[in-house]
């Protein structure tokens, strides 16, 4: 009920106000018909009872629509009743009553179009994260209204069904043979986009590594040529040659500068646009100004991105392993602090995106706390979709922007 009121609360308050105004406009005056209840009222009461029955018997989104319509008419009648109790009898023959009832009927249509969609989307976000935390597939379930349809072949079906049934906002969890065609197509499209994103990420990593290796190899190959191009020394006298010959008997060891170690940075395709937000600090520059421990921590934090599934704030197994390495490295640097910045893609309202990005940053914060990191060494914040890595509405760009960035300071 609390979940329902969170999305329909404003509409219910508006219906109550409309009922109160209708009651004021319908106060009985001299000469008005004193009869309050008519035969049509019994039909109206029966209609409300049928709405309740249909709301209980219908599945999915239709049940939510019936629940919303019944709740709005109940709030309207509560407003009329409040005026009746406070100001006296009400005359049914006045037009204010009819105008108020028509306004609430129109309000029910608009509210079911607006609030029902938001409730279903938010419930899908919440249940997807919950299913992923329980080890299930967040895409292998379907949310319609306040009902959840869980395929019988889902991993840990019984335990997951019990867990989802106890979640806030869920009316009933139904066991089905398979997802609906629309939900199955959406699942396949999301999985294909995730696979394409992973392949593009690995390709960018390989291309970056190859470019770095070629750069180092070119730098090493240029050193002998630089030595050959050095100026030829002037002709020496006989005594200088003898002294040089004696010193040549014990040649001094030649110090060869080792090649610079490769510092890992985030793979980046040069053909893509630059990110809109502040970039992560470069490990090479950080190493010149701070201790080796901090440089290693910065390089580790920049070596991997923590990504999330659509509409989810749950950490995957790979992200948990990476955070375990990061926590161990952080304990070796007592002065370092981690800034955790959550990001979302461009799907949803501004409020939903900000809340989801905050939940993602908080999920990383909580996991590091469970690994023994002190809370004063962590800060977390969500920035929504204000700092995208890739600007675009395609699946690849959205998947790249669903992340948590870790900055070392």
> Using one digit for the tens of pLDDT, what is the confidence trace for 303-330?
888 888 888 888 887 888 888 888 888 8
Helical residues (DSSP H) of 177-234, grouped into ranges = 181-228
For the question of whether the overall pTM of this predicted structure is more than 0.95, the answer is: no
Cross-strand bridge partners of residue 307: 403
Report the chain's terminal Cα–Cα distance, integer Å. 45
Tell me phi and psi for residue 384, to 5 degrees.
65, -135
H helix or E strand, kind and range, residue 405: strand 403-408
Domain spans in the chain, listed from the N-terminal domain onward: 2-120, 180-217, 279-409
Residue 292 pLDDT greater than 70, yes or no: yes
Pick 402 or 231 by higher pLDDT.
402
Q: Tell me, what DSSP letter sits at residue 291?
A: -
Tell me the range of 88-97, 108-117, 143-152, 399-408 where mean pLDDT is highest.
399-408
- Asked if residues 173 and 133 have their Cβ atoms less than 8 Å apart, the reply is no
Cβ neighbours for 266, distance < 8 A, ≥ 6 positions apart: 280, 302, 303, 305
Residue 16 pLDDT greater than 90, yes or no: yes
Q: Name the burial class of residue 23, with classes exposed (0-12), middle (13-18) and buried (19+) by CB atoms within 10 angstroms of its CB.
A: buried
Please state, in angstroms and as integers, the Cα–Cα distance from residue 210 to each residue in 197, 203, 218, 261, 300, following that order: 20, 11, 12, 14, 20
Instruction: Give the pLDDT of residue 264.
Output: 40
Task: Check if CATH label 3.30.1330.60 holds for domain 279-409.
Answer: yes
Q: What is the pLDDT of residues 263-281, one digit of tens each?
A: 444 444 444 444 444 444 4
- Asked if residues 337 and 407 have their Cβ atoms less than 8 Å apart, the reply is no
Q: What are the structure tokens assigned to 212, written together? A: 């770095």
């Amino acid at each position: 009920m609390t979940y329902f009121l969170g999305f329909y609360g404003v509409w219910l308050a508006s219906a109550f106000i409309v009922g109160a105004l209708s009651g004021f406009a319908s106060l009985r005056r001299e000469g008005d018909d004193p009869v309050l209840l008519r035969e049509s009222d019994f039909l109206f009461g029966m209609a409300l009872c049928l709405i309740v029955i249909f709301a209980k018997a219908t599945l999915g989104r239709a049940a939510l629509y019936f629940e919303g319509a019944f709740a709005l008419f109940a709030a309207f009648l509560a407003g009329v009743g409040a005026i009746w109790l406070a100001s006296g009898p009400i005359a049914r023959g006045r037009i204010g009553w009819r105008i108020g009832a028509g306004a609430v009927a129109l309000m029910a249509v608009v509210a079911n179009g607006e609030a029902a969609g938001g409730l279903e989307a938010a419930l899908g976000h919440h249940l997807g994260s919950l299913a992923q935390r329980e080890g299930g597939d967040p895409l292998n379930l379907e949310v319609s209204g306040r009902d959840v349809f869980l395929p019988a072949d889902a991993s840990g079906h019984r335990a997951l069904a019990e867990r989802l049934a106890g979640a806030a906002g869920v009316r009933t969890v139904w066991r089905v043979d398979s997802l609906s065609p629309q939900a199955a197509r959406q699942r396949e499209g999301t999985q294909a986009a995730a696979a394409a994103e992973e392949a593009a990420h690995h390709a960018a990593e390989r291309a970056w590594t190859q470019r770095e290796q070629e750069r180092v190899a070119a730098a090493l190959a240029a050193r002998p040529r630089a030595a050959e191009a050095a100026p030829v020394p002037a002709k020496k006298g006989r005594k200088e040659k003898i002294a040089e010959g004696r010193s040549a008997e014990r040649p001094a060891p030649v110090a060869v500068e080792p090649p610079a170690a490769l510092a890992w940075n985030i793979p980046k395709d040069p053909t893509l646009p630059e990110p809109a937000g502040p970039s992560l600090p470069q490990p090479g520059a950080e190493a010149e100004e701070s201790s080796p421990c901090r440089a290693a921590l910065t390089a580790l934090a920049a070596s991997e991105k923590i990504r999330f599934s659509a509409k989810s704030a749950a950490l995957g197994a790979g992200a948990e392993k990476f955070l375990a390495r990061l926590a161990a490295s952080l304990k070796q640097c007592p002065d370092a602090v981690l800034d955790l910045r959550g990001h979302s893609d461009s799907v949803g309202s501004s409020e939903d995106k900000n809340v989801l990005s905050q939940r993602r940053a908080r999920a990383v914060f909580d996991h590091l706390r469970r690994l023994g990191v002190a809370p004063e060494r962590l800060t977390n914040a969500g920035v929504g979709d204000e700092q995208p890595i890739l600007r675009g509405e395609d699946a690849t760009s959205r998947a790249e922007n669903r992340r948590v960035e870790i900055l070392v300071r």
